[in-house]
Amino acid sequence: MATSVQSVGLAALGGMLWSGYTDSVKASPLVLRPPGALKEEDFLAACIKCGLCAEACVNRDTNVDKETGKQRAGTLQMAKGGDPLLIGTPFFIPTEVPCYMCEDIPCVPVCPSGALDMPSLLNEKEELDINKASMGLAVVHKESCIAFWGIQCDACYRACPLLDVAITLEYQKNDRTGKHAYLLPVVQDDACTGCGLCEQACVTEEPAIFVLPNDVAKGKAGDHYVKGWDTKDQERVKDAKGQETTTDLSKKDAGDYLNMEVEY
C-alpha cells in the first residue's frame, strides 16, 4: 500500500511539473513555426511531435551544399530540453537557417495531424503555393538600419525571394546633405511570408530587420474602424448600428472648444 501511495504521489508530482512546464513554454510568444502552422494554441494541441516535418525539410533534394555536395542543416529544428518552447515541436531560427521557400513545401504534406494546414497554402489552382505562407512578419528597426542613416544598403531587399513585392525600397530625399537620397526598405504586410531570408542577410552586427510571429508583430485596429474607401470593408459593417456617447467635452460647441486653452 505504501508503494502504491508513493507511486501515485510521484505520478501526481510529475503531472504537476509537466503542467507547469507546458504552461511556461506556451507563454513564449517569440517562436516561428513551419509554413501552414495553425495558430499557436491550436498548433500545440494538434502537433503530435513526430518530427516528420523536420525530417522532410533536411532531406529535401535542394538541401545540398553546392560547394561540398553534402547535406546542409535543415531549417526546422525539434525543440529539446532547455529550449523556451514545448519539447518535440518544430520551429526555426532565421539567423541560423531561414526558410528557403521550397516550391513543393515538403514539410507540410507529411504532417499526419493537420497541425500544418495544407489547405491554407493552396492557390486558386488548388496547388501548393509557398507564397501563401504566413510564418511571421519582418520588422525593420529604423534606428539600427544603416539605410536609414543614408548608407546605401539593399541586402534585405535583394535577399527577399519576393523581390520588390514583400520588401520594397522607398525613395526619400536626404535633407541633411541636400544631394543624396535614402533608399529605405519597407515590408509589405500582405506579401511577407516570414521566411527570414532578409534577417539572415542583414549586414549589421545584430539584424536590423527581423521576423516576429504575426501576433507579436501586428497590431489590431478593432472592428469598429472602417476603411471608407474600401467597398469590401464597408460591406463588413453594413448591419452595424451607430452608438452615440456623450462626454463633458462633447457637450460644448465646436467654437468653444477651439477657443479654449489646452486642458491637461
59 with 129, same domain: the answer is yes
149 with 121, same domain: the answer is no
CATH of the domain at 191: 3.30.70.20
pLDDT in single tens digits along all 264 residues of the chain: 666 656 655 655 555 544 555 555 554 678 999 999 999 999 999 999 999 999 999 999 889 888 888 898 999 999 987 777 888 999 999 999 999 999 999 999 999 999 999 999 999 999 999 999 999 999 999 999 999 998 999 999 999 999 999 999 999 988 777 777 899 999 999 999 999 999 999 999 999 999 999 999 998 888 878 888 888 888 887 877 777 777 776 777 767 666 666 554
Residue 18 forms part of a structural domain: no
- Structurally, the chain folds into a number of domains equal to 2
155 with 202, same domain: the answer is yes
Q: pLDDT tens digits, residue range 183-213?
A: 999 999 999 999 999 999 999 999 999 999 9
Q: Which of 133, 154, 171 is the last residue of a domain?
A: 133
128 with 142, same domain: the answer is no
| C-alpha to C-alpha distance for 127 and 132, rounded to whole angstroms | 11
Q: pLDDT tens digits, residue range 141-175?
A: 999 999 999 899 999 999 999 999 999 999 998 87
Give which of 194, 142, 192 is closest to 167, Cα–Cα: 192
165 with 215, same domain: the answer is yes
| C-alpha to C-alpha distance for 22 and 28, rounded to whole angstroms | 10
| C-alpha to C-alpha distance for 195 and 133, rounded to whole angstroms | 9
- Strands 77-78, 90-91: pairing is antiparallel
107 with 157, same domain: the answer is no
32 with 66, same domain: the answer is yes
Count CB-CB contacts under 10 A for residue 21.
Answer: 13
DSSP 113: S
74 with 102, same domain: the answer is yes
Count CB-CB contacts under 10 A for residue 194.
Answer: 25
141 with 120, same domain: the answer is no
